[in-house]
Amino acid sequence: MSDEFGQEQAIRKLGPGRLVIASHNPGKVREIGELLAPYGIETVSAAALDLPEPDETGTTFIANAELKAMQAADLSGLPALADDSGLCVEALNGDPGIFSARWAGPSKDFGLAMQLVWDNIAAKGPDAGHDAHFVCALALAWPDGHVEVFEGRVDGTITWPPRGDKGFGYDPIFQPHGHAISFGEMEPEKKHGMSHRADAFRQLVAAVF
């Protein structure tokens, strides 16, 4: 990262101890915990600490990840890691994008969200493409306000109807390039090796451990 004068600063390392996962999404907390497990980090979720969910007012994945991580670190007094991720469909001009969770409504009904994605693609007509990608922004924040950010991506296509009951969110309708199955059909170990979140985590691990 750069300081206010545009000079590069050394990336801060993450030492042993507890780390808050700044999310109330059980699937996301589980997946992040599995990715961190090999590094001996003790994780605790924001929900377990009864931390509030901030309003995601950022206009990018990175901005939203930063505000979630910084709030959790400030309130808990511990380093905090936040993920902001979403599905971007080219035919829908990048939607649902940063609003991916909101498309699921207040009840977090991703069956509804997946149907909305498909209905919106269908409304574009038979020539609408199905290209899509997942983006994951990770922000690692410390209680003193320092933050490091990383962003990963995986490309694929939208498939219908939804397939598989693994993963979470939009996974059942996303088929990554080079594979014949959806993320919803993919074993966690395989997904962890190639997903947008795995891409961002590889960058984080190389930088802070």
38 within some domain: yes
- Across the range 197-208, mean pLDDT stands at 93
5 pLDDT higher than 50: no
- The CATH number of residue 169's host domain is 3.90.950.10
26-36 helix and 196-208 helix, angle to the nearest 10 degrees: 40
142 within some domain: yes
Number of domains the chain is built from = 1
More confident: 167 or 151: 151
pLDDT tier at 2, thresholds 50, 70, 90: very low
3 within some domain: no
Contact of 207 with 140, CB cutoff 8 Å = no
Long-range contacts, 107-110 (Cβ 8 Å, 24+) = 108/25, 110/168, 110/169, 110/170
pLDDT tier at 9, thresholds 50, 70, 90: low
pLDDT in tens, 132-146: 999 999 999 999 999
- H/E element, 76: helix 61-76
Which residues are catalytically annotated? 84
Report the length, in residues, of the chain: 209
Residue 168 phi/psi, 5° resolution?
-165, 175
57 pLDDT higher than 50: yes
154 within some domain: yes
pLDDT tier at 36, thresholds 50, 70, 90: confident
Per-residue burial over 163-178, b = 16 or more CB atoms within 10 Å of its CB, e = otherwise? beebbbbbbbbbbbee
6 within some domain: no
Q: Return the pLDDT at 8.
A: 53
13 within some domain: no
191 within some domain: yes
152 burial type by CB count under 10 A (0-12 exposed, 13-18 middle, 19+ buried): buried
93 within some domain: yes
Q: What are the tokens at 139?
A: 């922000």
Of 74, 73, 98, the C-alpha closest to 88 is 98
Check: pTM over 0.85? Answer yes or no. yes
177 pLDDT higher than 80: yes
Per the structure, the complete domain to which residue 109 belongs is given by: 18-208
- Across the range 195-204, mean pLDDT stands at 93
Distance CA 161, CA 133 (A): 18
| 3-state SS class at 19 | strand
Q: Return the pLDDT at 15.
A: 80
